[in-house]
Structure 1
């Protein structure tokens, strides 16, 4: 599949219009369907067994040829829309409704994880909670979005505390985030976001 075709298909996905600030306020807006993010993943893709947290990367993984794709989200409405998008694109994707803290998987059971976690603005450390789980279950790589302002912290924590052997910023993205909730003081905020690639220290066989 050519990159332009991938971007076009992802750009036509049905949007999730009611994000919950507890967990997924940025899961629709700060996604991996921007042209720069798409092109970066397009060049870096290296998985046959794929796991994603939040639903937009599911379609990208399947369209790029992953043999098996699992999408995890805590929100039932988000998963319903993801399922409809997969059906419209005739993609085979397995969806699981689950809080990542209760995932219950042990060992590296997937090749690659792609995610756009909460940034920890409302709940401090939420993005690191996601990264901790992702690095536990991925054997090859984790692709993840984090605020550029936290770059030093993310790299230090990943290498020192979260079992990553390497942490690389692939590109910097910019998103205009509109006012969604009462605690948002401005009508729109421009946010710089890094697309990271993390590699776990250990690569073992698939197990649970």
Structure 2
């Protein structure tokens, strides 16, 4: 595969990766739009968090951050998701793009043994906002991410929780260096959705592990 030269080229590539094939409401499966994923990945690349790094994508869905990291020169990338159908899609597209050092695991993030060699983690966890979802699971994802001992974590959250998260990250020895802000377009994919699409304000926090 030819090297990616700019953010727009990366976005075009990521647009080829489909959304969750069978989204499950209890998992709050909303696929990250390609333009947001490309922006986060390009910023991470510019900050030295991808090239030749070992990347872990927690709750990877169809693998947009796993695949995008390898497109930008990651040394290796592992994507993990509890939904086997989405992992199958991710694997098929990693093969389509002929990416090396790529691995996907269908399994529960919280059941994993913490023996990965990880530099950078990306995660877009469930926010716990749906009635059938687990409350506070995004915080559980942060704790799990910390357990892998990465240098840097990129984590998606509802913008309304920003003040709480700033304090939470600090109490967990994570130094926030950047906060990226987006309007996350959620399409009508579940039966309770009344609009064709809805914009939700989200933040992506870049935090450095001060315990390293």
User: Under TM normalisation by the shorter chain, which class is it?
Assistant: 0.7 to 0.9
The gaps in structure 1 that reach 5 residues or longer are 204-208
The gaps in structure 2 that reach 5 residues or longer are none
- Secondary structure of the residue aligned to 1:177 is strand
| TM-score normalised over the length of structure 1 | 0.86
**Which stretch of the first structure deviates more once superposed, 67-76 or 6-15?**
6-15
Q: 1:101 aligns with which of 104, 107, 110?
A: 110
- Secondary structure of the residue aligned to 1:18 is coil
1: CA distance, partners of 2:38 / 2:119: 24
- Any residues of structure 2 matched to 1:89-128 within 5 Å, and which? 89-92=97-100, 93-105=102-114, 109-122=117-130, 123-128=134-139
Residue 39 (structure 2) aligns with:
36
- Secondary structure of the residue aligned to 2:151 is strand
**Cα distance, 1:152 vs. partner?**
0.9
Residue 88 (structure 2) aligns with:
80
Residue 54 (structure 2) aligns with:
49
Q: 2:20 aligns with which of 1, 8, 16?
A: 16
Q: Do residues 60 (structure 1) and 68 (structure 2) align?
A: yes
**Cα distance, 1:95 vs. partner?**
0.9
**Which stretch of the first structure deviates more once superposed, 15-24 or 47-56?**
15-24
**Which stretch of the first structure deviates more once superposed, 168-177 or 86-95?**
168-177
Q: Do residues 178 (structure 1) and 187 (structure 2) align?
A: yes
**Cα distance, 1:52 vs. partner?**
0.5
Q: CA RMSD in A?
A: 2.1
Structure 1 stretches of 4+ moved >6 Å = none
**8 Å CA contact 1:110, 1:137 repeated in 2:** yes
| TM-score normalised over the length of structure 2 | 0.84
